[in-house]
Each structure stands twice: as C-alpha cells, then as structure tokens.
A = this chain, B = another copy of it.
Amino acid sequence: MLLDAAREAAAEAVGCRADELVFTSSGSRAVHTGVAGALAGRRRAGRHLIVSAVEHSSVLHSAEAHEAGGGSVTQVPVDRGGAVDPVAYGAALREDTALACLQSANHEVGTEQPVGAVAEVCREAGVPLLVDAAQSLGWGPVEDGWSLLTASAHKWGGPSGVGLLVVRKGVRFAAQGPVDERESGRAPGFENIPAIVAAAASLRAVRAEAAGEAVRLRELTDRIRARVPRLVSDVEVVGDPVRRLPGVVTFSCLYVDGEALLHELDREGFSVSSGSSCTSSTLTPSHVLRAMGVLSEGNVRVSLPLGAAEEDVERFLEVLPRAVAAVREKLGAPVSETVVREDVLVVDSLGKRCPIPVIELAKVIGDVPVGGLVRVLSDDEAARLDIPAWCEMRNQEYVGEEPAERGTAYLVRRVS
C-alpha cells in the first residue's frame, strides 16, 4: 500500500500513469536500465543511439556500453550556452536510430534543453526520446512528448538510493539482464520502501514550494551572474542566461587553479563544485565545459539549495573576490622559460598544469608585436580548451594547434 501510494504521488508529479513508473535504486540505474531496455526493445529498427554532448555521465556510460556491444552513437553538439539546436538534433536522426536521449537541463551549467522541440522532431521520425530529468523534476514536469523519463530523488532533496524510470505505454521496451517480479520486471531486488516513500513525499513537498522558490532562487543566481564579473576580473559566466535552472550558476576565473579556489571557499564555509581539470581525479576538464567551448580553468559551480538565504549569497559575493585574489597571488609569477625564435615567442609549459599555461600565455602576449605569434607548448589536456577560450575572452586570434616534439603547440596571434 505504501509503495502504491508512493507510485501514485510520483506519477502525478511526473505527469504519467502510475503503471508507467517504476522505482530504481538510483538515477544512474534508471538511466542504465532505461537506455538498455529501450535499445533492446527497438533492436529491429537498428542500433543507432543519439545523445547530446553534455549528458550526465550515466547516459554517456550507457552509450559507451552500447558502442562496446557493437552499436553506433551520435553525439549532438551544443552551442556556447550549452543547449542543443533542435534542427541539428533532428539531423542526427537516421533510419536505424533506435533511441534518442536528451537531458531536461544540464547538471553543471543549468542550461535547459529544448525538450519539447526535440521530442517533436523525434516523434516525426518515430524515434522514442528518453529524457534524463534528474536536474529539473523537482521544479516541474518535463515538456510533453517524451517516451521515457528518468530522475533521481536525491537531486530534488529526497533520499539517496531512489531513482525513477518511466516508460510510456506503447513504447517498446525489453528489460535486460536478470529481472524478478518486482517493479514490473524493470528493477529487481528488495524494494527500499522507506526511501521510496520519503522520495515521493519529498517530491510532493518540493513541488508545493517550487513556483515561489524558483522566483526567489532565480533572483539570487541572477545577482551572482551579474555581480561576479564586476567583482572579479577575467571571469566568464557560463550557461544560458535565461533558459536555465533557478538554483545553479557557474563561472570560470582565468589564471586560477580550481582546486585551490575550492579550498579557499571551503575555508570560508562555502561548498562549491568545479569542472576544472585540476579538481578532477582524471585531470581532464568537464566534458560539459569542453562541449560548450568555454573556459574550464578556475571553474566554480554554485548550487543554491531550496531555502538558501540571501545573506549567504551576499557573504559569498563578499568572500569570492578575496579568495580568487589569494589564489592568483599564490600562482602570481610562475617561472617559465620563454625563448624568442624568429618572430615567434615560445612558451614552454610542458609538465605544467592548468591554469599555468594560460597564465604564461597572458604574461608574454604583450611581449610580441601586434601580428606576432606566441607558441605555447603544453601537455595538459585542459590547454586545448582553455587557450582558445582565453583568446575569445581577450580578443586575440587563436590560430590552431599542432603536434610538438613533446605535447602540443598552441599558436596564438596578438591582434590587439
């Protein structure tokens, strides 16, 4: 009875029938099960899968597993704001496309995707669309037209250990792997009833306050978006300024080590995230920032929880400039060997990590005449993203990259 009531409540929030919704053990599990089941159910149509380039890792891991199993995958790119173009998305649809995936909103930069328009092009092509609604379900239902939907309770403030998988009636679906009689054969194992009940109750509670809270948090994130570039020099605020989640704001600070900035902010009591390569275990920048082509160094993601206080936002804005200045000062005058060769200034940043290569580039750009070239040697993957982004921010020309004896050479022409 508790499970049925939870299912009714969650289905009402999603806008689906209760018998279309099952509870899984996490949002990632919902995505893995949903993608695999939809692909298997449409095996006859073909083995082509479409995802956007900025999906959550659970979707991209599903795509990798599909490719490893012999399927094909198209990644639809996004614009500088992080959104896909429905026309470009539609152009990726093929005769053998079994499934298309699109998040409702991005988890790192908050940009909302044009789900309704993409669903429409998918519908015309007869291809089911799976929407990963993990980021947005707490704020409201997803635009109409999707065939499968996934979400995660802890993302709307509910407990860990509960995901949702919704498969619309009529959508071909063949659950993969061992199943049992639970959750329509789509989520085996003993149901976590207490967590499921809490998940449904919290979704209902969050939704009751969503409209008012959205306005309030949007005002606070607008404030951060507007004031950070005035308070801190050399900052790029990323993500769509309008079509975005209410409580997320993301920006990147030139010449800043993301990890060091997180520590500075943590000391002041602020827990933020970063997509900088310096803060990730793999030493590669966030795939989202990379797909958007924006600066990744000194990246900071501020997520305002429901009920976040205005005073805290104000204090964050007070603390941030000092924190950035402290990090920049520490990195202040990095020693780098620069060699002038013909009309090209060579900066050897080999072995140095983000944000050092960009800092060294910035320090020497004034040393070459307008029209002159700087050649930055780097073996840091983040440079591939950050040097072009710096050029765009600084109105310098990014000429391109070429393989070097060690690492890669990035060529920048001084134009101003």
Interface residues, chain A, with chain B CB atoms under 8 Å away: 25-29, 31-32, 35-36, 57-58, 61-62, 64-65, 152, 154, 159-161, 163, 176-181, 188-195, 281
Contacts and interface: CB of A to CB of B under 8 A. Distances in A.
Nearest to A154: B190
A14 to B, nearest CB: 20
A195 B57 contact: no
Contacts of A154: 190
Contacts of A163: 189
A158 to B, nearest CB: 12
A125 B44 CA distance: 42
Contacts of A161: 25, 161, 192, 195
A155 B270 CA distance: 39
A28 B281 contact: no
Contact of A177 (B25, B36, B57, B152): B36
B188 A58 contact: yes
B25 A61 contact: no
B177 A32 contact: yes
B28 A181 contact: no
Q: How many copies does the complex hold?
A: 2
B61 A180 contact: yes
11 contacts: A25-B26, A25-B192, A26-B189, A26-B192, A28-B180, A28-B190, A65-B179, A154-B190, A159-B194, A161-B161, A192-B195
A189 B27 contact: yes
Given A32-B177, A177-B36, A180-B57, A190 B26 contact: yes
Contacts of A194: 159-160
A359 to B, nearest CB: 29
Contact of A188 (B28, B152, B177): B28
A69 to B, nearest CB: 10
A387 to B, nearest CB: 27
Contact of A160 (B64, B178, B190): B190
A206 B331 CA distance: 53
Given A58-B189, A180-B58, A195 B160 contact: yes
B189 A25 contact: yes
Name the residue in A29, A64, A65, A177 with the highest tally of chain B Cβ atoms < 10 Å from its Cβ: A177
